[in-house]
Chain A
Amino acid sequence: MPGPLSSLRIIEVGEMVSAPYAAKLMADLGAEVIKVERPGSGDRARTRGPFAGGAAHPEKSGLYIYLNTNKRGITIDLASPRGLAIFERLLSRADALIHNLAPFEMDRIGFEFARFHRLNPKLVMTSVAPYGLSGPRRDWRAEDLTVWSDGGACYLNGARDRPDLPPLKAYGYQAGYQGGAHAAVATMGALFAAARGAAGQHVEVSVQESVAAIIEMANTFWPYMGMVLTRYGPKPVQPLDTFECRDGWIFACCVEEHQWRSFVEVMGNPEWASEEIFDERFKRGVNYDALRPLLADWIGKQSVQDLYHKAQARRVPFAPISNLADLVNSEHLRARGFFVDVTHPQAGNFKYPGAPYRLSRTPWEIRRPAPALGQHNDEIFGSELGLEAREIEALRREAVI
């Protein structure tokens, strides 16, 4: 059974996380994705670890391997007119182009929607940029950390009782993943419109806005109440916090009143729990400095798994702090078949995080591992675009591909 997007051809010009993740989501649902990289060095993700075996190697980057499954890879120097002309031949047969070239780079090489639209009126072109394609910060330099910060997420995290310590970024490349996920949603919307007869169009995605859209209550506290949320200030509702058990860490989570009451039962109804300062979720937020040590004392004597299952038996949404080993060894994830086995010619065999959704008729599947740099040049330039072997050789010699 082919995936739901198996009729789509997508060209990706992606670096690092945002555009590659958007194109990966489509490739994993069956779309044919061709990834275009710079000749020589390729996607910068290839220089980032973790590397299979530990030593840096452009074909063994875990970041690259994770983000580029199911894609074929070619190399084109888009800054050369001949390179761009070959690229346009690819676009003329594509349904979508997803890229994250910087806006100034787009200007420099003439990477324009109007031009591509004339060539292929059905083409959906998605431009993902840290600050979008307009506005005073359009050309600001950005790394994942700076956009996660500028989108308002980073300020919310850090040590609750140590305001002297800086705000703390989340692991990895979360701005990139959010830019990518939102780009996938928007691109899919435009492709759905095209399937119903709309013309191709230009979709613009701002990574900063993708972060600013998801910061929960932090957005509206200012316009609604003239307040800002901070990493160290009181949280409205408690407990929503990490505690140390005798054998590991657990996340205690009581959002609703019935969850707190059930947790109090799990604790054996200690006397302090009936005190008036803890009898309602907002009061527990305000009085959390008094509550936390009491909880820490009791939870500190429990084992993680025992408390987790006892709480869940009463529908209290506690969760263990999983290590990566806990995930790979989870019986639940195994029963769902979450991890899949991937064999990569240079990085070897390993388990790979699988489908984030199960579509009953049209499955998610890994059909091929991430490509080596330029792995599909001959196949795509030759058999698919019809260039002759000596033309390809000349292009290669002149570093156009």
Chain B
Amino acid sequence: MPTNNAPLAGIRVADFTWVWAGPYCTMQLAHMGADVIRVESATRLCVSRVTPPWFGGQFGVNRSGYFNQYNLGKRSITLNLKHPRAREAALRIALKCDVVINNFAAGVMDRLGLGYRDLVRLRPDIIGVSLSGYGDTGPLRSYVAYGPAQVPLSGMSALTGYRGWPPMHVGFSYGDPNAGSHAAFAIIAALYHRERTGEGQYIDMSQWECTMALIGEGILDYTMNGHQPERDGSRDPLMAPHGLFRCRDMAEPIAGRPVDMWTAIAVADDAGFARLAAAIGRPELATDGRFATLAARKRNEDELEAIITEWTSTRFAAEAAETLQRAGVAAAVCATGRDLSEDPHLNQRGFFVTPEHAEIGRAKQAGIPWRMSGTPCSVRSAAPTLGQHTDEVLREIAGYSDAEIAAMRAADALK
């Protein structure tokens, strides 16, 4: 293999997933050069295709920023799996793939004749992946889960919230992309094993368990000490100040509304606090008995936060963060989507991509959070429009003739 190939060049993935967890997994494989074929259906549109934002504010199944962000670099084929000829086509495609992945609840793929047991008889080295909410076994295996529900189910909500408030969420469907990344890792590990031994295998993933992996130290507080940690906002037991501080609103309102802005500040030790105190023009705070030590700052944290807010609230967030960073204090803008899109650092690093999309043209999308020096990863194409590659996939991978494809279409198998 030439060394400048993408790391997963030549690997093909049949992607029966939908919404976000599975699509985020397979997009990472596509970033690494895998040929990912998303099997979709117009009879049951992926939730992300019918969820905003819409490009230019105009609804359309190919216009969602949500879908287009998380399906970069894939091909799309539409198959109506209720139709036997579509199931037959799906099976033919799956058997030409190295990896077959779904995120249906346990048992659905088996009923479609596309389960791992069926596939492995015909292709022994195949890697089958099930990325369900609760996993393939256990009394709740048929329960359904969406990414946002994983945050409360996993215990993360009970640990997250303002002090004295009820449990809160984390603000987005965090269980999904996290399960997607863990799945991508497990799949490449299984490919690695296959490369060395020739053996395929089956991977049973539970989004619930993947989410619990993110609060391991909290779980250990319970299993070691019987202790359920209290919610404490954005504060930290060993750092003060540690939180979000109000700044001036964004320079221009958006859609006529002011946008509130905040700067995150985290001070790990007394020397850092002295630097902060000097940077905000209050050097005397470093020797003030109320704030000189971590213990004192923790005792007087409300007062400390009020003093810092006096300084931040007359400044723009970026200005506050830059001033503090120049003084050697960990600080950053609490970024909105606009801040990210316009961020000089991210733009200079080439994080964003603007691939040509078949319907909406070029739109700015988040790119790949890693770089490889030898086997480059890249966003090879925009997200596919619904069924954009149906004919080419049926012809080139499943081996159907144009006449057969036309007959399947006439029979409504390709919807």
Contact of A189 among B7, B144, B145, B328 (CB under 8 A): B7
Instruction: State whether B330 touches A219 (Cβ < 8 A).
Output: no
Instruction: State whether B160 touches A217 (Cβ < 8 A).
Output: no
Q: Which residues of B contact A365 (CB under 8 A)?
A: none
Instruction: State whether A219 touches B262 (Cβ < 8 A).
Output: no
A–B complex contacts, Cβ < 8 Å, 11 sampled: A136-B345, A152-B336, A185-B181, A190-B7, A210-B369, A255-B47, A327-B212, A333-B138, A336-B206, A358-B204, A362-B190
Instruction: State whether B370 touches A48 (Cβ < 8 A).
Output: no
A318-B149 contact, Cβ under 8 Å, with A52-B224, A169-B234: yes
Interface residues in A104-124 by Cβ distance below 8 A to B read 113
Instruction: State whether A228 touches B66 (Cβ < 8 A).
Output: no
- Complex CA–CA separation, A324 to B218 (angstroms): 8
Stretch at the interface among A153-161, A268-276, A375-383, A392-400: A153-161
Per CB-CB distance, the 9 closest pairs between chain A and chain B, nearest first, are A220-B65, A157-B171, A201-B374, A156-B171, A50-B221, A209-B369, A4-B193, A324-B222, A143-B266
B183 touches A (CB below 8 Å): yes
Instruction: State whether B155 touches A322 (Cβ < 8 A).
Output: yes
Q: CB-defined interface of B59-100 with A at 8 Å, one 1/0 digit per residue?
A: 000000110110000000000000000000000000000000
Instruction: State whether B332 touches A142 (Cβ < 8 A).
Output: yes
Q: Which residues of A contact B47 (CB under 8 A)?
A: 255-256
B304 touches A (CB below 8 Å): no
B201 touches A (CB below 8 Å): yes
Q: Which residues of A contact B185 (CB under 8 A)?
A: 25, 181, 184-185, 188
- Complex CA–CA separation, A197 to B148 (angstroms): 41
Instruction: State whether A216 touches B155 (Cβ < 8 A).
Output: no
Instruction: State whether B190 touches A198 (Cβ < 8 A).
Output: no
Q: Which residues of A contact B201 (CB under 8 A)?
A: 359-362
Instruction: State whether A359 touches B190 (Cβ < 8 A).
Output: yes
Instruction: State whether B162 touches A149 (Cβ < 8 A).
Output: no
Chain B CB within 10 Å — which of A155, A193, A224, A328 has the most? Answer: A224
Q: CB-defined interface of B235-275 with A at 8 Å, one 1/0 digit per residue?
A: 01111001111100000001100011010111010000000
- Complex CA–CA separation, A347 to B136 (angstroms): 33
Instruction: State whether A219 touches B340 (Cβ < 8 A).
Output: yes
Stretch at the interface among B48-56, B397-405, B406-414: B48-56
Q: Which residues of A contact B150 (CB under 8 A)?
A: 319
Tell me the smallest distance from the CB of A156 to a CB of chain B, in Å: 3
A186-B370 contact, Cβ under 8 Å, with A48-B238, A181-B181, A219-B65: yes
Instruction: State whether A141 touches B134 (Cβ < 8 A).
Output: no
Q: Which residues of B contact A209 (CB under 8 A)?
A: 346, 349, 351, 366-370
B285 touches A (CB below 8 Å): no
Stretch at the interface among B35-43, B225-233, B384-392: B225-233
Instruction: State whether B345 touches A135 (Cβ < 8 A).
Output: yes
Q: Which residues of A contact B54 (CB under 8 A)?
A: 224-225
Q: Which residues of B contact A80 (CB under 8 A)?
A: none
Q: Which residues of A contact B375 (CB under 8 A)?
A: 189-190, 193, 198, 201
Instruction: State whether A153 touches B171 (Cβ < 8 A).
Output: yes
B286 touches A (CB below 8 Å): no
A251 touches B (CB below 8 Å): yes
- Complex CA–CA separation, A48 to B153 (angstroms): 25
Contact of A171 among B52, B160, B245, B363 (CB under 8 A): B160
- Size range of the chain A interface in the assembly: 35 or more
Instruction: State whether A145 touches B234 (Cβ < 8 A).
Output: yes
Tell me the smallest distance from the CB of B208 to a CB of chain A, in Å: 8
- Complex CA–CA separation, A178 to B214 (angstroms): 9
Q: Which residues of B contact A141 (CB under 8 A)?
A: 325, 328-331
B122 touches A (CB below 8 Å): no
B157 touches A (CB below 8 Å): yes
Q: Which residues of A contact B8 (CB under 8 A)?
A: 189, 192
Interface residues in A294-319 by Cβ distance below 8 A to B read 312, 315-319
Tell me the smallest distance from the CB of A338 to a CB of chain B, in Å: 6
Chain A CB within 10 Å — which of B140, B237, B254, B364 has the most? Answer: B140
Contact of A218 among B154, B228, B337 (CB under 8 A): B337
- Complex CA–CA separation, A356 to B146 (angstroms): 17
B217 touches A (CB below 8 Å): yes
Contact of B153 among A49, A236, A320 (CB under 8 A): A320
Instruction: State whether B244 touches A183 (Cβ < 8 A).
Output: no
Q: Which residues of A contact B184 (CB under 8 A)?
A: 185
- Complex CA–CA separation, A320 to B172 (angstroms): 17
Name the residue on B nearest A223 (C-beta): B364
Instruction: State whether B172 touches A357 (Cβ < 8 A).
Output: no
Instruction: State whether A321 touches B221 (Cβ < 8 A).
Output: no
Instruction: State whether A189 touches B244 (Cβ < 8 A).
Output: no
A19 touches B (CB below 8 Å): no
Tell me the smallest distance from the CB of A150 to a CB of chain B, in Å: 4
Instruction: State whether B24 touches A214 (Cβ < 8 A).
Output: yes
- Complex CA–CA separation, A95 to B209 (angstroms): 29
Instruction: State whether B217 touches A62 (Cβ < 8 A).
Output: yes
Instruction: State whether B182 touches A217 (Cβ < 8 A).
Output: no
Instruction: State whether A146 touches B66 (Cβ < 8 A).
Output: no
Q: Which residues of B contact A336 (CB under 8 A)?
A: 135, 137-138, 206, 209
- Complex CA–CA separation, A215 to B373 (angstroms): 26
Q: Which residues of A contact B134 (CB under 8 A)?
A: 332
- Complex CA–CA separation, A332 to B138 (angstroms): 5
Instruction: State whether A226 touches B255 (Cβ < 8 A).
Output: yes
Contact of B149 among A4, A29, A163, A317 (CB under 8 A): A317
A39 touches B (CB below 8 Å): no
Q: Which residues of B contact A206 (CB under 8 A)?
A: 349, 351, 369-370
A198-B3 contact, Cβ under 8 Å, with A204-B370, A251-B157, A322-B155: yes
Contact of A224 among B53, B172, B173, B188 (CB under 8 A): B53
- Complex CA–CA separation, A125 to B159 (angstroms): 35
Tell me the smallest distance from the CB of A294 to a CB of chain B, in Å: 19
A221-B221 contact, Cβ under 8 Å, with A48-B238, A228-B336: no
Instruction: State whether B217 touches A66 (Cβ < 8 A).
Output: yes
B111 touches A (CB below 8 Å): no
Q: Which residues of B contact A331 (CB under 8 A)?
A: 138-139
B13 touches A (CB below 8 Å): no
B121 touches A (CB below 8 Å): no
- Complex CA–CA separation, A236 to B191 (angstroms): 39
B133 touches A (CB below 8 Å): yes
Instruction: State whether A361 touches B52 (Cβ < 8 A).
Output: no
B205 touches A (CB below 8 Å): yes
